Amino acid sequence: MMLILLKGLEDYMLSCFWKKNFNVDCMGCGMQRSVAFILRGEFVAAFHMYPAIYTLIAMFSFLLLHLKFQFKNGHKIILGLFILNISIIVTSFLIKTF
């Protein structure tokens, strides 16, 4: 079942508008392929493809839990995870670009 889902996901991946038109990676390039690697069980390859993938998963998971359970300081944790994710995304973009 997972192989069918993975095959369907890979068949319908979106191409990057920015890379296609300007020949430069955007800050989100690699995210779709990183999710495909995770579904295949290739966790290190997923990290190498898009370093922020695991912190993004953690942030969105915590966000969903916070929406359900209303943690006392949940908004501060979400803000911290957001800043961490932006830092990782920008840093990896700069390393990849220059």
Q: What is the pLDDT of residues 25-80, one digit of tens each?
A: 899 999 999 999 998 999 999 999 999 999 999 999 999 999 999 999 999 999 99
Determine the pLDDT at residue 2.
66
Q: Which residues constitute the domain of residue 65? A: 26-97
Q: Tell whether 67 is covered by a domain.
A: yes
Rounded to 5 degrees, what are φ and ψ at 24? -135, 135
Q: Tell whether 7 is covered by a domain.
A: no
Nearest C-alpha neighbor of 84 from the set 57, 65, 44: 57
Residue with more model confidence, 24 or 9: 24
Q: Tell whether 8 is covered by a domain.
A: no
CB 80 within 8 A of CB 62: no
Per the structure, how many domains does the chain have? 1
Determine the pLDDT at residue 3.
65
Nearest C-alpha neighbor of 76 from the set 59, 54, 91, 89: 59
Nearest C-alpha neighbor of 27 from the set 83, 84, 80, 97: 97
* Stated pTM of the model: 0.87
